Structure 1
Amino acid sequence: MKNVKALVADDSSAMLHVLKRILHKIGIEEVLTAANGEKAWELLESGAAIDLVFADLKMPRISGIALLDRVRASAKWGALPVVIISSEAETATILEAGKHGATAYVVKPFSVEKITGVVKKILQPEDA
């Protein structure tokens, strides 16, 4: 998974650190982080080359769903894989994320194996 660039948006610095460490462990060397959805959108708009986004469902300023909506409405970023991460495991919440175009939904707490599986399924679908 060399040359893959990921963006992780979460208002928890601990979660940013955990996800960044997991992504590095599975071979994604470049991981940008944002403390909220607004900062994540600014990074995308700044022209950063991003291949995959992990966004917390509930963040200040712009939520994960609002960020997802902006990405899906964008001509440049519309097809960008966006994984919503949340401690909310209710079926209705997961289905709502799907309606907004989430590529995947991961419930916290998650394992290294879960994140690895999601990333491989997204970035190497024919190998999954």
Structure 2
Amino acid sequence: MSEQQIRALVVDDSQAMRRSIMYALQRLTGVVCIEAEDGVAGLKMLTTQGRFDLVLTDINMPLMDGLKLISHIRKAPEHRGVPIIVVTTEGAEADRARAMALGASAYLVKPVQARVVLETVKELLKLG
């Protein structure tokens, strides 16, 4: 995947957090980030903007939370294999377990360092 463009969808109701995550991701060569302010907008992007190689989502958002977004993504055959990284303030083990049971690939608790986001992305996308 390192030879092609990597499309990442960043879903968070905090613009500052979206920008922080996008800034970290753009340190990787070939990453293009699309942003959405909640799960409804994120789901719309997934259905109208072509393929995505990665989704990063918060849990607590208006209209549709990240857990419902994960559930919708995993129900769609064309998105079942897309890695989903949850980036949230919810640090309880029950929250982590629920997200992972719904199909999240990784669970990071805010505040999270850019280095940790990048390491997680590289691992999930099998980048050098």
Structure 2 residue aligned with 1:14: 16
TM-score (norm 1): 0.93
Structure 2 residue aligned with 1:81: 83
Structure 1 residue aligned with 2:72: 70
Code of the residue aligned with 2:85 in structure 1: it is V
Structure 1 residue aligned with 2:94: 92
**Cα distance in 1, alignment partners of residues 40 and 29 from structure 2:** 27
Code of the residue aligned with 1:60 in structure 2: it is P
* Runs of 4 or more above 2 Å deviation: 26-29
Residue 76 of structure 1: how far off its partner (Å):
1.1
Residue 26 of structure 1: how far off its partner (Å):
2.6
For the aligned residue pairs, the C-alpha RMSD in angstroms reads: 1.3
Residue 28 of structure 1: how far off its partner (Å):
4.5
Where relative contact order (Cα < 8 A, 6+ residues apart) is larger, the structure is: 2
Task: Answer yes or no: is the 8 Å Cα contact 1:5–1:50 preserved in 2.
Answer: yes
Moved more, 42-51 or 64-73: 42-51
Identity of aligned residues (%): 28
**Is 2:42 the counterpart of 1:40?**
yes
TM-score (norm 2): 0.93
Secondary structure (helix, strand or coil) at the match of 2:56 reads strand
- Aligned residue pairs, count: 126
